[in-house]
Amino acid sequence: MTFSEFSVIADINSKTEIGKVKLIAFYLLSIQGQKEFTVSDINSILGEHHLPQPNISRLKENIRKSSYFLKGKNPSYFKLHNKYIQELNVEFPDIDKSEVIIFGDSILPKILFAPVKRRYIVKLCEQINASYEYNIFDGCAVLMRRLIELLLIHCFEKEQRINEIKDGDGFKSLTAIINLTKTTQYFSLSKITLECLHDFRELGNFSAHQIHYSCTRSEIDTEKKKFRIAVENLLYSSGLL
């Protein structure tokens, strides 16, 4: 859960100055594992979220006097009293159960996939970025492979040739789908996209099936520029953009 989400749920704007500090301290503890905080930590969060920033000296004195807080290990640090931690845990039981994906633009820029109407495609793009940013490279490789597979299926679907990649109740292997894509060229893909489709499949397969293999950042970095080009190409060819 982001602080913006929490601030809405907790109605932080309506709280007193010290009430805001109590909620921020609880958020830092519950989500970021930060047991102690400084006045500067509080003021930074207030400023980042366009909330009034009090005088630091006055705020420090008010925190020191409040029963909500105890002194930290160092003179400039404070921590939330356990009594109020328990109360806030009851008041906000789902604070650490948000399904919001925190991500940047490390592999796929948000501006590329944000307009896509199919939510599962958007979430998959978000997870690809997030897994890379949190150093989950095997997961990132598998998700990259999955996105390529889904977008190729949607390309065949748009051309009303979905039955050509079906096998019984499901779909043919990604190898078969890629090979059919390259030989038939039912839809327009760039030379770069066509040449790297098997590279993304292979990288994802290694991470999913090779027992002693672990994907590395450098392996993702080698492919991510071509991946971004291929995803944009496939989004347009599938009619999702």
Q: Where are the domains of the chain?
A: 3-91, 110-237
pLDDT higher for 95 or 110?
110
pLDDT at residue number 15: 93
Whether the predicted pLDDT of 101 surpasses 80? no
For residues 76-105, average pLDDT: 82
pLDDT in tens, 201-232: 999 999 999 999 999 999 999 999 999 999 99
User: Tokens 């996105």 identify what position?
Assistant: 147
Question: Which regions of the chain does DSSP assign to beta strands (E)?
Answer: 69-71, 78-80, 166-167, 170-171
pLDDT in tens, 130-188: 999 889 999 999 999 999 999 999 999 999 999 999 988 899 999 999 999 999 999 99
Distance linking the first and last C-alpha atoms of the chain: 29
Structure tokens at 104: 């940047």
Band the pLDDT of 100: cuts 50, 70, 90: low
Inter-CA distances, 229 with 67, 190, 223, 232, 239, Å: 56, 9, 10, 5, 16
- What lies within 8 Å, CB to CB, of 205 at 6+ separation is 145
Band the pLDDT of 105: cuts 50, 70, 90: confident
Contact 18, 12 (CB under 8 A): no
Q: Is 110-237 in the same CATH topology as 3-91?
A: no
Pick the CATH number of 110-237 from 3.40.91.50, 3.40.50.410, 1.20.120.330, 3.30.310.220: 1.20.120.330
CATH 1.10.10.10 fits 3-91, yes or no: yes
For residues 192-204, average pLDDT: 96
